[in-house]
Structure 1
Amino acid sequence: MDSKYDDCSNVSNKQRSGRQRRNLETNMVVWLVVNGNNMHNEFRETINFHEIFDDINECIDYVTHCQSEKIFFILSESVYDAIVPVIHNLAQIHAIYILAENKTLEYPVEQYAKVRGIYNTVHNVHEAIAQEVAVFAGIKDFTISCMPASSSDSISLSNRLEASFMYFQLLIDVLLSINVGNAKQDMINKCRQQYDGNEVQLKTIDDFEKSYTFNTAIQWYTSDTFIYRILNKALRVQDIDTLFKIRFFIKDLHLQLEKLYENDEKKQSGTLVVYRGQLLAADEFEKIRQNIGGFLSINSFMSTTDDRNLALIYSGYGLQRPSNESILFEMTVDQEKCQRPFHHIRALSNFVNENEILFSMGMVCRIQSIEEIAGVWHIRLTSNDENDEDLRKLRLHIRQELYDTTDMTPFGQLLSKMGEYDKLVQFYLLMLAEISDDNEKLIMFHSHLGATYNDLRRYEEALIHLKKVTELEAQENSMSCAETFANIGIVYHSMENYPEAMTYMLKAQDIVENHCPQYEAKLSIMYNNIGTVFCQMNDLSNAYLYYEKSLAIKKKILPLNHPSFASTCNNLAEISFKRGDYEDALRQFLEVLDIDLRTLPPYHISLANTYHNIGFTQMEQKNYAQALENITKALDIAKKSNHPDMHEYQKLIDTIASEMIIK
């Protein structure tokens, strides 16, 4: 059972089955090799990234974890029965191609619709894949998030829908505001590694390096080249590392559209109606259908046309059901008040016949209506301007909840609230690389990294960053110095080095009490955490004393429904547990659960910890049925992020099951 700190978060990183190469594009080829077949170089002209396997189990494990790719799968006839039934219904499997010396193999076409056919040469397989890729090339990546219309009273970033919706809005602010630095060369170097051996793409990269300028961003974006494919994949999967490397291009493309929008003498008052045909995954479409009247955020640059019939062609006319739905977006735009720049780019585009109108990323629209006509869903949108009252309330609340520190941390705070801790580490490391000469921000990001690594159970890395902060601190008895000592104490506590933890925490307490007494909220947190260390050292009297001191300050300065009360209630419950008063412990843990359910996203790891504590207490009461129910809930949450505590939860479930059998 774990005590709770007032400021905690957890994360884990999921890795694929031993193959660490990253695909920067969406499409990839997976080939299950039998009898010495080899991948031909001609495939890389169509799809750059490929993986070759000779072991069925390793292959299945790999494709199962490739959840952000579109896989074109090639296999030999001899392994058809072993692998097609297993992989066919995976969303990431786009098409399957069977390589056989003859075409005698029979398969149920209706059951295995993704099987494109049987081919007797590798060249024939490549031709089929090239044709399929060409068909879908015009259907551009389209990344969205939805949010229902909300009253101001119900807005909260603890609601995962709302947090996810605002995530991209803040990401745009970060990408457009930070310095470009060496991003262009970093991206070019990364692309050369990705396309090593692909002579066609390497030549394009060379051309890009030599000829690219700010004024050619639109031209490059509308070309079917590496820069377009990498950008849209990174936006779709929210790849922070790649987005930061490609930020120079994102910034140029946005600013070029902004300049064209502002200087457009032909821009008219009134409204403009544009269209976009699109295949959407069935689950993505369902999000839109469930939010009529709410908001749709378009999390990529958006290509549209004023030619309705042309847009319909790209909808697919319902032929990709049930996995994909055909969509025709019809968007009405107030040309003078649109909150994102746009421009008719026919004169700049490589596709002059499409009469393309390109919008910058982050458009927010109101979902007005949805209607199915001849197999195509017609979705009517209106672009929202700053006068939209619901959107204004949401943005105001975001500012109040996130923008209470320096201008570089709101995005990090949002990631933390969403439980996106892997992205949080990426963000902080990238920020450190950008601000090597800013001492104040170096301190801030080293501190955040130390706290996050502690939650990741990567304690040595946490100590490296936090002790770096002590070297950078200019004032010995400042509040910042006290917080650093307190955070080092937390890490030593996590490492079960309680004497060192107490040493650092008492240093922090001394600084605040004697030099910074005005920081009552910070002192309350420190009292709570010192109590936690005393509790672990089995000094329950001192633990209870410090928890009570923490609670007294919270009652003085916080509203009674504040989520911070959960940590202290949890820790008082643990003292009751250690004293053997399981009934009182359970009562207090249930109070913690009530607070957590109102203030945390449904899969936050702190909620798992609370379910675990409730279940563990019920185990001691020999109430095994309810204990099993609550620890199973903890396990389900931990599995969502592959959190290491899931192994402990599984062991407890096995123990409970054994006790129930014996009983």
Structure 2
Amino acid sequence: MDSSEDVNLELLTLIWLDNNVNTDKDNVEFQDKFRSSINYLRTFDNCSECEDYIINKINNKQENIILIVSGRLAEQIIHKIHHLKHILAIFIFCFNKDRYESLATQFKKIRRICTGLTTLLNEINDYKKSGLCQINESIEIILNENKLFEFLLEIKRNFLDKRYFLEICSKQYENNFNQIKDFEHFYLSSNALNEFFNQTFLYQLLIKSLHRFNIEMIYFLRFFIQDIYEQTNNLPTISTKSYRGQLMRDDQIDLLKNSIEKSSIRLNTILIAKKNYGEILKALKDCSNGNNYQRVLFEIDMNDIGKEYEQYVIYPITSYFNITSIYYENNIYFIKIIIGNKKNFIKKDFSSIEFAQYLREINNLDQSQKFFELLLKQFPSLNSQCYDGLARIAQDKGLYEISLEYYFKSLDTVSNQLKPFILNNIGCAYDYLEEYDKALKYYSQSLTLMKNTKHQSMSLNNMAIIYAKHEQFNDAFDCFQQSLIIRKKYLPDNHPDIAIIYINLGVIWSSLHQFDDAMKYFNLALKSFSSNHHLDFYRAIIYQNMGDLFLKENQFDQSLKYYQDAFDIFQQIRSIDHPNRSYIQQQIQLIKQQK
């Protein structure tokens, strides 16, 4: 067996099980030809080792597998692995086709029984391009507010991206390097759709990266995304309905049901459909759906978004979907959707650093961290901004000591103009660590260096929080009022930055046991955060403070309600060991014990 355990960046894994796979001359020579079709090839001459690899190793990674197996070993292994969802197709390679026909009748995933290697390779290539393979792609549903793909379309390319991309590919395709050489010398932007629909290695890398949200690969492949988008714009618009078959999990079906005529959704892929309803329906009926997976047929209403390319219909990666109806018949969910496109609002020339910041904004903290680390390697001139971004992510994760390390690194390299903002952030980190004197020191330094009155409100607000924690309420109110006056001068009444001051005023009134005043400010703040999904963190903080307030009043039922509301949000956006989650869980347990 090939012992390499490197990560597969492509959509498909090819496994070949045969006692003579690595000893027969023809088999060995054909391995390179199979790699030209599916790069990630694993060979086994032992049935037990192959079974262990499929069940205990690769299945946990949810890799999509095409299996080649000799006739004799097919009888030993197929019944043990056929039920796995990620076994897409099985091809039996043997010299006596008739002997194994009964297996093909018994097991639906056996696509062909082949007696020649060339025929076998052709059958695998045909299957790859069939609707069955697309139906099994593991797509995910994402919120329509996510603007990730719009941003990707606007980030300029640079020569370093291509160099890093080629370095990654040289490792992934070390046994199949001709593809990379061809790409390096012959790739043309005008040929992007041909590369995509011929399912070259670029297609394999892109779709896998989108499905797994591999942000590094998506970023490096944005040239391909941009080329596909531009070329698609020049295609003729479809004038009829189109159809797409898909296997989807039960929880995804439930999400779609809850979205009917309500919220829009998006898919983490470039949606490909066809005009031939019968072809899609047949492919769905022919596919095997494992546990917790359902067959879905999307009927896409006629629109001016879809573009025709040969027998396919391609929809822009920026498309969103509105579900109009769902019904279930003959073991298939039929889902009618209307498609729209929201590409136009993004500003041109979106920068890489803004993209990293946006990932943090939508709470993709791990991906944002990876991206800042990547930019740190690529662009030394961005060190200060990258360190600041990494510090904020560490702070979001509750890792305040690590956050401080990054902030101080940023402080060493930042311009004088931005230094007050880093000093303010250092104060925040010390605040979280409950080192209030140090926090106040850095807030004061920040305020002194702030040249712009508008920005002074930030340090004033944070100083007020420290004063409140020291029960110096007059100083706290004074700082909050100064901060509020500044923000109201420059911002609309419902702006989140004004709402943050309302939260803090509510906390002070709560500390003074002034229930009505505290609730007044908490509710004012809640109005500003109720309509923006990306500000859920602040809604959770408000609910947490409301829970604290009602607990002080011994109103346990109300307190429990707000703590639970806060916990439901934190559960979605913060790690299990984050201080906010831990605190609320403790409070919920405390109330339940007292009731």
Q: Does the pair score TM above 0.5? A: yes
Note the C-alpha offset of 1:502.
2.2
The corresponding residue for 2:195 is: 220
Aligned counterpart in structure 1 of residue 9 of structure 2, from 21, 24, 33: 24
Aligned counterpart in structure 1 of residue 293 of structure 2, from 300, 323, 332: 323
1:277 counterpart = 2:244: yes
For 1:114 and 1:593, locate their aligned partners in 2 and report how far apart those are by CA, in whole Å: 60
Note the C-alpha offset of 1:228.
1.8
Residues 78-133 of structure 1, C-alpha deviation per residue, up to 9 Å, x if partnerless?
A: xxxxx99xxx9x9x766899xxxxxxxxxxxxxxx99989xxxxxxxxx9xx8997
1:635 counterpart = 2:567: yes
Give the 3 Å change call, closer, same or farther, for CA 205–593 of structure 1 in structure 2.
same
The corresponding residue for 1:500 is: 438
For 1:273 and 1:560, locate their aligned partners in 2 and report how far apart those are by CA, in whole Å: 47
Give the 3 Å change call, closer, same or farther, for CA 255–630 of structure 1 in structure 2.
closer
The corresponding residue for 2:317 is: 361
The corresponding residue for 2:210 is: 235
Equivalent position amino acid for 1:632 in 2 = Q
For 2:329 and 2:449, locate their aligned partners in 1 and report how far apart those are by CA, in whole Å: 69
For 1:406 and 1:381, locate their aligned partners in 2 and report how far apart those are by CA, in whole Å: 29
Q: Which runs of 5+ in 1 are unaligned?
A: 1-19, 31-39, 74-82, 98-112, 118-126, 147-160, 347-354, 385-390
Aligned counterpart in structure 2 of residue 163 of structure 1, from 138, 142, 145: 145
Determine if contact 1:592/1:610 at 8 Å carries over to the other structure. no
1:190 counterpart = 2:190: no
Equivalent position amino acid for 1:419 in 2 = N
Residues 282-328 of structure 1, C-alpha deviation per residue, up to 9 Å, x if partnerless?
A: 65566666445986756544444555544444444797497233325
Give the 3 Å change call, closer, same or farther, for CA 542–96 of structure 1 in structure 2.
farther
Specify the SS of the correspondent of 1:171. helix
1:566 counterpart = 2:551: no
Determine if contact 2:247/2:289 at 8 Å carries over to the other structure. no
Note the C-alpha offset of 1:504.
2.4
The corresponding residue for 2:157 is: 179
Determine if contact 1:624/1:656 at 8 Å carries over to the other structure. no
Residues 419-468 of structure 1, C-alpha deviation per residue, up to 9 Å, x if partnerless?
A: 3333333444445555545xxx6655554443333323344554455445
1:607 counterpart = 2:539: yes
Alignment of 1:451-530 (within 5 A): 451-459=392-400, 461-474=402-415, 476=416, 478=417, 480-512=418-450, 515-517=451-453, 519=454, 522-530=455-463
Determine if contact 2:9/2:205 at 8 Å carries over to the other structure. yes
Equivalent position amino acid for 2:293 in 1 = S
Note the C-alpha offset of 1:554.
3.5
Specify the SS of the correspondent of 2:246. strand
Specify the SS of the correspondent of 1:607. helix
For 2:532 and 2:275, locate their aligned partners in 1 and report how far apart those are by CA, in whole Å: 43
Residues 118-168 of structure 1, C-alpha deviation per residue, up to 9 Å, x if partnerless?
A: xxxxxxxxx9xx89976732547485868xxxxxxxxxxxxxx4413x443
Deviates more, 1:631-640 or 1:301-310: 301-310
Determine if contact 1:573/1:584 at 8 Å carries over to the other structure. no
Residues 581-623 of structure 1, C-alpha deviation per residue, up to 9 Å, x if partnerless?
A: 2635752574267336514428833333333333334444444
Give the 3 Å change call, closer, same or farther, for CA 383–613 of structure 1 in structure 2.
closer
For 2:411 and 2:534, locate their aligned partners in 1 and report how far apart those are by CA, in whole Å: 36
Determine if contact 1:446/1:465 at 8 Å carries over to the other structure. yes
The corresponding residue for 1:107 is: none
The corresponding residue for 1:7 is: none
For 1:64 and 1:592, locate their aligned partners in 2 and report how far apart those are by CA, in whole Å: 50
Determine if contact 1:254/1:360 at 8 Å carries over to the other structure. yes
Deviates more, 1:464-473 or 1:222-231: 464-473
The corresponding residue for 2:113 is: none
The corresponding residue for 2:362 is: 418
For 2:169 and 2:478, locate their aligned partners in 1 and report how far apart those are by CA, in whole Å: 58
The corresponding residue for 2:94 is: none
State TM-score, norm by structure 1: 0.63
Residues 242-279 of structure 1, C-alpha deviation per residue, up to 9 Å, x if partnerless?
A: 11122333344445556xx3xx8xx6xx8643734321
Determine if contact 1:180/1:248 at 8 Å carries over to the other structure. no
Equivalent position amino acid for 1:495 in 2 = L
Determine if contact 1:612/1:649 at 8 Å carries over to the other structure. no
Deviates more, 1:314-323 or 1:324-333: 314-323
Note the C-alpha offset of 1:533.
2.5
Q: Which runs of 5+ in 2 are unaligned?
A: 16-26, 68-79, 91-105, 111-119
Determine if contact 1:301/1:360 at 8 Å carries over to the other structure. yes
For 1:366 and 1:653, locate their aligned partners in 2 and report how far apart those are by CA, in whole Å: 37
Specify the SS of the correspondent of 1:564. helix
Determine if contact 1:365/1:381 at 8 Å carries over to the other structure. yes
For 1:609 and 1:317, locate their aligned partners in 2 and report how far apart those are by CA, in whole Å: 50
Specify the SS of the correspondent of 1:361. coil
Equivalent position amino acid for 1:187 in 2 = F
1:541 counterpart = 2:474: yes
Residues 626-655 of structure 1, C-alpha deviation per residue, up to 9 Å, x if partnerless?
A: 433433333333232342555664566456
For 1:524 and 1:229, locate their aligned partners in 2 and report how far apart those are by CA, in whole Å: 50
Note the C-alpha offset of 1:231.
0.6
Give the 3 Å change call, closer, same or farther, for CA 446–383 of structure 1 in structure 2.
same
Alignment of 1:576-595 (within 5 A): 576-579=509-512, 581=513, 583=515, 587=519, 590-591=522-523, 594-595=526-527
Residues 493-542 of structure 1, C-alpha deviation per residue, up to 9 Å, x if partnerless?
A: 33333333223221221233xx433x2xx222221011122334454432
Equivalent position amino acid for 1:170 in 2 = F
Aligned counterpart in structure 1 of residue 133 of structure 2, from 128, 133, 137: 137
Determine if contact 1:582/1:621 at 8 Å carries over to the other structure. no
Give the 3 Å change call, closer, same or farther, for CA 661–26 of structure 1 in structure 2.
same
Count residues in correspondence: 536
Note the C-alpha offset of 1:182.
3.1
Determine if contact 1:531/1:542 at 8 Å carries over to the other structure. yes
For 1:214 and 1:550, locate their aligned partners in 2 and report how far apart those are by CA, in whole Å: 51
Equivalent position amino acid for 1:574 in 2 = V
Alignment of 1:326-345 (within 5 A): 326-327=296-297, 329-330=299-300, 332=302, 334=304, 344=309
Specify the SS of the correspondent of 2:159. coil
Deviates more, 1:201-210 or 1:366-375: 366-375
The corresponding residue for 1:450 is: 391
RMSD: 5.5
For 1:558 and 1:603, locate their aligned partners in 2 and report how far apart those are by CA, in whole Å: 17
Note the C-alpha offset of 1:471.
4.4
Specify the SS of the correspondent of 2:485. helix
The corresponding residue for 1:377 is: 334
Specify the SS of the correspondent of 1:545. helix
The corresponding residue for 1:120 is: none
For 2:410 and 2:192, locate their aligned partners in 1 and report how far apart those are by CA, in whole Å: 40
Write 1 or 2 for the structure with the bigger share of helix: 2
Specify the SS of the correspondent of 2:244. strand
Determine if contact 2:65/2:87 at 8 Å carries over to the other structure. yes
Specify the SS of the correspondent of 2:240. strand
Alignment of 1:282-301 (within 5 A): 284=252, 290-291=259-260, 300-301=269-270
Give the 3 Å change call, closer, same or farther, for CA 320–452 of structure 1 in structure 2.
closer
Select the structure with the greater relative contact order (CA < 8 A; seq sep ≥ 6): 1
